[in-house]
Chain A
Amino acid sequence: MAATLDRLPSADIQIDVQRRGRNQIQMALTYILLTIASLLFAFPLFWTVSSSLQTWQELRSFTPHLLPVVPQWGNYAQVFESVPFARWLGNSFLITAITIPGTIITASLTAYSFARFNYIGKEFWFVLMLGTLMIPSQVTLIPQYVLFFNLKLINTYVPLTIGSWLGGGAFMIFLLRQFIMSIPKDLDEAALMDGANPVRILRSVLLPLMKPALTTVAILQFLNDWNEFFAPFIYLSRSHLFTAAVGLRFFQNIPLETTDPRDHLLMAAAAIMTIPVITLFAMAQRYFIQGVVLSGLKI
């Protein structure tokens, strides 16, 4: 106390001015770096949209146009005319419509088991479950393929969706378990006193409180399936069953009637495939962030 009283006020002010000056330079530097970085990140997205609206002659000139001379909205229509892209988008949506409820139901059940019950072997199963995150999927790939081949399930969506109905994967379970553990156990016990059984407690007490976490899980599941290339690529060979991801690669490689370059159409198709994801992000941004924060940090 005495020491602070002894200090001259003018010295304090001087230090303050110095510090403020330094802070302002730091702030300006941070903004400059952030702006350069964000331009670098945003440019390819801008370029996708711009290229998708140009003619191929414009794209293949040696003086690139940043913006189309006349926006060629017809490019988007041409994508749907060249390949059954609408059907492929529909197939991708159909798959997510099967997997999202599956993961929500079965990952919640598993997470509930890990978060709220003290049974023999729990720790063992839990560690094994986390261990599955470490094992490359190639190890199970071939026997799974043989299994589905022998069950005549190639060219169906069963191989692509069954996992979501059997727990939904370690990551989703872990995320929901963390969330359930953050809900006070008093609530369960109060319901138990009132005569509710565990199924009832999950349904009427926990699930309503878990809505934010369940939304996150639904979004992550959507993103996974929307992005997934390998599994639909090996399990689906008939083009009418393709997902958007497999279809886009197909469109990249197949010969069409015209041999004109199709970069502008590919850019349009890439944009079409990205629009649902960006829309979802715009609507539910906080859940994207929350998923990461919930799951990542406690390991």
Chain B
Amino acid sequence: MATLTSRLKVPGMSGGLLTTRQRRENFYGYLFLTPWLLGFFGLFIGPGLGSFYFSLTKYDVLSSPQWIGLDNYITMFTDDPLFWTSLGRTFYYAGLGVPLGVIGSMFLAILLNAKLRGLATYRTLFFMPSLVPIVASVVLWKWLLNDDFGIINQTLNDLGWSDPPGWFGDRRWAIPSLILMGLWQGLGGTRMIIFLAGLQGIPETLYEAASIDGANAYHKLLHVTLPLLTPTIFFNMVLGVIGGLQVFTAAFVATEGGPGFATTFYSLHLYRHAFDYWNMGYASALAWFFAIVIVSLTIWQLRLSRRWVFYYGG
């Protein structure tokens, strides 16, 4: 993203007076931008500021908001154990699921990038699970991972594991179950396609040069493929973290946050306060804190990327 801003053209501002041409550019530029600007202010900036205001009030939609200053934020940090639990659970889910997902997708893409026959079929098979709507996928995985009658536990039983995990019904296994489902859906999806495109962007001459220097397949992977894939890895990590931290639907449909509070992720905690208890003020404070966490993490990843992301020829 850092390179993106530098690639943008700065509009011509030469001279003091606007030329006819510049006036025309301004007119049509803004004319075509209008629908988006309306949406940006009406559905994004306006509501964003609105929720900041709500976060400083006690508000239940039916009566008007009551100003309470920073009370919601103070409650959040000092008097809401579920705030910390849900934040921890969310980081556990994203911290384990995102790296596994990115590495797995990269691995599949590297396999598919070999110049072999019939690869299109494999690519299609890997891609298919990502097409399954998430609610349908949850219904399916709850059945696959059914404690007694699921095919997975029955197979594990046959293999001699007499006491296989309770998966979605077990506090310790609920998050790993969600991660497993997420990997099935995500590994071969758009992330893998992005990696494939990244791999195809690596110049063939580099591999040839490495071969002449006597490199074997493993050396090429380590010293050519991986360094040149770092921009793609980085891109997928950033998107993965932003998406992973916001996990809602899978956990809500599969377990409604349970068992216990095992899968009460941050967005589920927020949802409960907003739409079960109608604590719109408190939920808004939760939302703003969450936005700050996600934006800070993204900026931190951008900073960190300078140390490990390698842009070839750029």
Interface residues of A (CB under 8 A from B): 22, 26-27, 30-31, 33-35, 37-38, 41-42, 44-45, 47-48, 51, 59-60, 62, 64, 106, 109-110, 112-114, 117-123, 125-130, 132-147, 149, 162-163, 165-167, 173, 198, 202, 223, 226-227, 229-230, 234, 244-246, 248-249, 252, 263, 266-267, 269-271, 273-274, 277-278, 281, 285, 288-289, 292-293, 296-299
CB-based contact B275/A163 at 8 Å: no
* Pairs A–B under 8 Å by Cβ, sample size 14: A37-B108, A64-B151, A106-B39, A113-B28, A118-B29, A120-B13, A138-B246, A139-B47, A139-B290, A163-B43, A274-B131, A277-B132, A288-B193, A299-B1
> Interface on chain B toward A: helix, strand, loop, or mixed SS?
helix
B193 touches A119 (CB 8 A): no
Check B135 for interface membership: any CB of A closer than 8 A: yes
Check B131 against A278 for contact (C-beta < 8 Å). Answer: yes
Quick check: is B249 within 8 A (CB to CB) of the other chain? yes
User: Contact between A106 and B132 (Cβ–Cβ < 8 Å)?
Assistant: no
A232 to chain B, nearest CB (A): 11
The answer to whether B168 has its CB under 8 Å from any CB of chain A is no
* Selected contact of B253 from candidates A34, A123, A249, CB within 8 Å: A249
Answer whether residue B140 sits at the interface, using C-beta atoms and an 8 A cutoff: yes
Interface centre among B112, B122, B133, B290 (most CB of A within 10 A): B133
Provide the residues of chain A in CB contact with B70, threshold 8 Å: none
Q: How many cross-chain pairs have Cβ atoms below 8 Å apart between A and B?
A: 284
Q: Check A227–B5 contact: CB distance below 8 A.
A: no
Q: Are B197 and A293 in contact (CB under 8 A)?
A: yes
Binary CB contact string for chain B from 42 to 73 against chain A (1 if under 8 A, 0 otherwise): 11101110110010000001000000000000
Of B81-89, B171-179, B279-287, the segment with at least 4 beta carbons within 8 Å of chain A is B279-287
B55 to chain A, nearest CB (A): 9
- CB pair B11 A123 closer than 8 Å: yes
Q: Is the CB of A165 within 8 A of B61?
A: no
Residues of A within 8 A of B46 (CB): 143
Contacting pair A143 B51 (CB below 8 A): yes
With A37-B108, A117-B29, A139-B291 as contacts: A267 and B143 at CB distance below 8 Å: yes
